[in-house]
Chains A and B, each alone.
Chain A
Amino acid sequence: MSQSPLIFLGLLFSFALSWMGIVFAPQLQLGREDAVATEAGINYPSVRRTMGNQGEEVYRQNGCIACHSQQVRPRGYGGDIQRGWGIRRTVAQDYLRDEPPLLGTHRFGPDLANIGIRGTTNFASTSAFHSGTNSAAEIFNWHLTHLYNPQITSPGSIMPGYPYLFTKRQITGRQSDDALVISGSYAPEKGYEIVPRPEAYAMVNYLLSLHSDVDLFEAPLPPGPTNALKKATNGVGKATNNIATGTSTNASPGNTNVQGSSTPAAAK
């Protein structure tokens, strides 16, 4: 008799085991998870606002995942937390609403799981934050400029620019309010301006919506002084939401209501 039916059964059995283990069991465990209510009464992770969802689409289309992860490993793992990439590790619960979660496998660039609440001193390149105020509007514009050409904000970066998310157009009359403020060699020729397209706004809104800092049962926030950080970051989160509203109604981010928003620098 031939052994091949036996071999086939062996193959099927070994594969079925792995299938139960890696496909079925995780689905049983994770498939039941649902959004949790936080103290503030919001569901976490909340469904991102429309602009955020569109931005996620732009993020996916352009493959930012090739260089950026969105996951914070526990303390002691490669300095993720010490670098200020998050105040706690990320867990499955954080990704319930992501389709698919953009965990990433490379870190040519910094982790982005908490980019929406990152203190400016924790950015890879700090050269852009001269103003000292670091208002939410300035951070919003920093992201736009960085997206247009990272060399402007972060000299030596290997991140590509995304000029196709912007329009270069001739200035007719007055410069538009939402034109990027660029000086030096990267500025467009005289008489022209660089204006973000809706995709660029959507992307920045998405980036600023990224945070995984809610106190979870399986990933509690560290006790003590770091909770101050949590509060500070909440402030920024709110401020950026204001900005988001501003841009979605097509106002210039430069003059939106950033009154008294807490400075992210305090988050250090």
Chain B
Amino acid sequence: MSSSTPTLPPVESSGLPATEVLDSAEQIDASLRAQLMLLISSASIWGVVAGFLGLIAGIKLIIPGFWNDCAWITYGRIQPAASNALLFGFAIQAGFAVLLWLVCRLGARTLASGWTVLVGTKLWNLGVLVGTFGILSGDSTNLEGLEFPKYTVPILVLGYLMIGVSALMTFASRNRRELYVSQWYLLGAIFWFPWIYGTVAYLAVFHPMRGVVTPLLAAWFRNGVSTLWLSPLGIAVLYYFIPKITGRILYSRYLALVGFWVLAFSGAWATLQIGAPVPAWIVSVTVASSILLLIPLISTSVNLLVTLNGFNGAKSNIWPFIKVATYCFVISSLLLIWANMPGLNKLTYFTIFGDGLRALYLHGFVAMSFFAVIYYVLPRIALKGELSASLTKVHFMLTLSGVSIVFLALALGGWLQGTALANPLNSFMKSVETTSIFLKIGFLGGLLLFLGQIVFCLNVLGFLGKWGKNQVVPFLAEVRATEPARRTK
């Protein structure tokens, strides 16, 4: 695994015998082939589906009379369907691919228990499909962020467990014993997701607690799935690729350590907004934990930015993704923390402001870092072949311009919406008018993001299709060649 040496501290420092037998990068990538192909192609398809549902939701807000006869696509159903498909179908699923690949590569170990991943992925996709249809048919739980109906929960939990078990077994049997920074985050991610999702699915969806505890748990999940699952994975990617591509050693392992542990302790405390109908201390905890989250944010940002500072001569096709992901991580995390502070929270909580920030976070940071892994890993697991460079570039440009427009339109629009709402002398309809303009601009951004998802999907599926053909054609030729010989015998 010589290609990634610069990311890792020298082996001697671990005090381990230097005779560790490491699996080679080629062996590792080959062991992940079927799993990653399945995860990545499914995620890319969900990206398109989610984008499509999101566009219909956008049209609904612009033309409220659009196709109202159809209950299945009423705004209140199609909007949660779109956001859940995006989170569970695209982001988390692509995250599984990233998680497994990094766990294998960093541990210098081929994938353990690959078949559970294959079954788990199929279950996961079934769960997302059933859940999305469930919401569209009117079965939403109405717990925001957790709208998938009750009957999808066991499918998703089982799917996750089968994937997680493989990640954990691979991690435990890793050949390179010493842990690199990225691996702390990976280990955290493996456990945090089932803990948070399991708790919330059980106590909010299956055996709902009484009263406001359920929306409180849903909010805890919404925040936790970002801070303790998507962020750790994205950060692990950046910590892996930035030293690797720049050829530099990570600026400070100590900073990374501090960042990690403060994240672990303060990441799962954020809940509802200021002024919510819950005991005041719960809201204060949210504010305090958000302030604490500045520590991991600053330490991680400094670490990453100093390491990549001044580096621009990358020939790597994934470098633009990495760079944008890094900047979007810093900006969106900072703004999301700020949005939890009393002043801004009061003004913007019920507006589209947060949607703008979350779009920047999800499409700018999380998705960009995952795309980087996918573009890096696909040609390697397939052993030969290249993804279309021009499609990759188009995908990058569409995503970058799309997310910029969505972010700016919704953040500014949300701010103005909040300002209009805060002044009781304004009629309510004034806030609706103000918001409408920005929803239209945001829609254009959403369109670009959707086109980006289509290009990405075509690129991935086209590549896999070509790869499949290359596998099948020589095989058929061989069959045909041996056929007459056999017959003559």
Contact = CB atoms under 8 A, between A and B. Distances in A.
A69 to B, nearest CB: 6
B128 to A, nearest CB: 18
A82 B354 CA distance: 24
A61 B73 CA distance: 12
Interface string A10-48: 111011011101110011011101000000000000000
Contact of B79 (A19, A63, A91, A162): A63
A160 B68 contact: yes
Contacts of B138: 61-62
B192 interface: yes
B74 A62 contact: yes
Interface range on chain B (Cβ under 8 Å from partner):
35 or more
A128 to B, nearest CB: 13
B61 A79 contact: no
A193 interface: no
A151 B210 CA distance: 37
Given A26-B213, A78-B422, A101-B214, A107 B191 contact: no
A201 B195 CA distance: 42
Given A18-B268, A60-B140, A62-B138, A26 B282 contact: yes
Contacts of B433: 156
A7 B188 CA distance: 8
B436 interface: yes
Interface in A57-79: 60-67, 69, 71, 73-74, 77-79
Contacts of B431: 107
Contacts of A163: 68-69
Interface string A184-201: 000000000000000000
B12 to A, nearest CB: 17
Contacts of B141: 100
Interface stretch (B272-280, B366-374, B470-478): B272-280
Nearest to B418: A78
B201 to A, nearest CB: 13
A265 B174 CA distance: 72
B216 A71 contact: no
Nearest to B278: A92
Contacts of B254: none
Nearest to A15: B195
A90 B395 CA distance: 47
Interface of chain A, main secondary structure: loop
Contacts of B272: 103
A91 B80 contact: no
B177 interface: yes
A106 B423 CA distance: 17
Nearest to A60: B142
Contacts of B435: 108, 158
Contact of B265 (A17, A61, A78): A17
B208 A11 contact: no
A27 B428 contact: no
Contact of A63 (B65, B74, B264, B273): B74
A149 to B, nearest CB: 8
Contacts of A67: 75-76
Given A124-B428, A158-B432, A71 B277 contact: yes
A63 B75 contact: yes
Contact of B143 (A96, A100, A161): A100
A220 B187 CA distance: 48
B211 interface: yes
A30 B346 contact: no
Given A8-B187, A92-B211, A158-B432, A79 B424 contact: yes
Interface of A: 2-4, 7-8, 10-12, 14-15, 17-19, 21-23, 26-27, 29-31, 33, 60-67, 69, 71, 73-74, 77-79, 82-83, 89-92, 94-96, 98-108, 110, 124-125, 149-151, 154, 156-164
Closest 5 CB pairs of A and B: A63-B76, A73-B275, A82-B424, A61-B138, A79-B424
Given A62-B76, A101-B277, 11 more contacts: A8-B191, A14-B265, A22-B268, A77-B346, A79-B421, A95-B212, A100-B142, A100-B214, A124-B427, A124-B432, A156-B433
